[in-house]
Structure 1
């Protein structure tokens, strides 16, 4: 796996990741704050739900999702994932963030030129990973360089992230000099979900990263500003499909040397 960060794409993109996959085992993707554009030149990814396997298009865009999703890849997979920041797609002419929330859409359905994606997939198959990541950077820059980032949306997202998701909507509204209703409406329009929902995802991700190092889950719940242990378990299960203790045991197992 190779992770690529670009200075000029920084207002729009958190990272670009190229990776290959050699297993057909299903894997879970947990809620996160990014809109993710994915392209596969070799192999295919399918969404698994309720025993049904739904193959995905070779190039698509997935909005912020609020529940865990299970995917399965073919044995040989070469893919690139572009992690757009929550505020990056506001004012994008092809779709709004609200249309993408909890949804995946093929890039051709969004109206992007098929020739562009044929070129992209062909380039991914013929270039080495670093050359291809440079190619992706140039392509994204050409598409988004004229998209102006909304400064309020960027500030609001960063404020939520800096608090690890513990800031309340009322406090966000007060700091914005807006009413709570104005804050929520403006946020949903620009990000696709409510500030409370994004804060819950940020807090979940913070807990997820902290689990492997936590000695006491009760202390972790307290530090993450959950009301009580019951609230902590309920919210964590909603985002992950499992309990904090089960997830912690799994993480400890992964860290254990062979």
Structure 2
């Protein structure tokens, strides 16, 4: 697999953190862990399917992927190439009217969100592009024309940063109170902008933080305690759903990424 990363233009940087171009010359499998970012994908070659062996389902060529709590196994056919757009938390609403929480755990074709002729135009240009710089520029121009006047919700951006700083170990009621907003109103704004409830988002942050520091822990009990779990069985269940492996199997690997 070959992966290249590109920074967005100044116009898009408040909403998008990076463009990624992933190419698989010979085909491959890749287990993707849950992340805090909504992703958009444009395929310019090959095919991609998702699912465990024997249960694969083909994925659309252009799609929006919402946040999710579980990992998924992706199968790339030989000659596959994708341009991925990684949105900042709260950045995607500037491009889509549909509340993002409706995409939680899903991988939806962009045809559901954008007029088909606009998607077809981008797909045609991507197939004609001669290199990845051109492909990223094509997707970037599509996004610039699609952007609305809506700016990121600063209150939600603040909440996201607090959750990340606390490595996901926060009390939602206290967080809402610190932002001078009722818990109900806060949760509605958060899931509409970010694509998950504050609790779901915090759980993703917590487990990703644990994975980043997993080799530093001396035992599963220590890892579970540091992640805020007090029930080891619950920790192992969540860990397995998140990574597709038990903590013991995961720990035996040299690296998870």
Instruction: Please tell me the TM-score bracket, short chain as reference.
Output: 0.7 to 0.9
CA RMSD, 1 decimal = 2.4
2:57 aligns with 54
Say whether the 8 Å CA contact 1:45–1:71 is kept in structure 2.
Answer: yes
CA separation of 1:212 and 1:75: change in aligned 2, threshold 3 A: farther
Query: What is the match of residue 4 of structure 1?
Result: 6
SS at match of 2:51: strand
Contact 1:40 1:121 in 2 (8 A): no
Match of 1:242 among 236, 240, 245: 245
Q: Is the 8 A contact 1:173 1:183 kept in 2?
A: yes
Q: 1: CA distance between counterparts of 2:166 and 2:175?
A: 11
**1:218 matches 2:229:** no
Structure 1 residue 217, shift from structure 2 partner: 3.7
Q: What do residues 131-185 of structure 1 show as CA deviations (whole Å, max 9, x unaligned)?
A: 3223322322222263321111211112111211111112211211223333223
Take 1:163 and 1:124, find their aligned partners in 2: how far apart are those partners?
A: 43
Residue matched to 1:68: 71
CA distance in 2, matches of 1:146, 1:253: 42
Q: 1:38 to 1:177 in 2, by over 3 A?
A: same
Distance 1:31 1:148, change over 3 A: same
> Please, what TM-score do these two structures have when normalized by structure 2?
0.87
What is aligned with 1:202? 205
Report the CA distance shift for 1:212/1:117 in structure 2 as closer, same or farther (over 3 A).
farther
**Correspondence list, 1:92-111, <5 A:** 92-111=95-114
Q: Which runs of 5+ in 1 are unaligned?
A: none
Q: Deviations over 1:37-80 (max 9, x none)?
A: 11111101112257322211211111111211122111111111
Q: Partners in 2 of 1:205 and 1:188 — Cα distance?
A: 19
Which of 185, 188, 193 is equivalent to 2:191? 188
Structure 2: gaps spanning 5 or more residues: none
> What is residue 24 of structure 1 aligned with on the other side?
27
Secondary structure, counterpart of 2:152 in structure 1: coil
- Over 3 Å counting, the alpha-carbon distance change for 1:21 and 1:50 in structure 2 is closer
Answer with 125-134 or 15-24: which moved more: 125-134
Which one of the candidate residues 25, 31, 36 is aligned to 1:33? Answer: 36
Look up the SS of the partner of 1:225 in the other structure.
coil
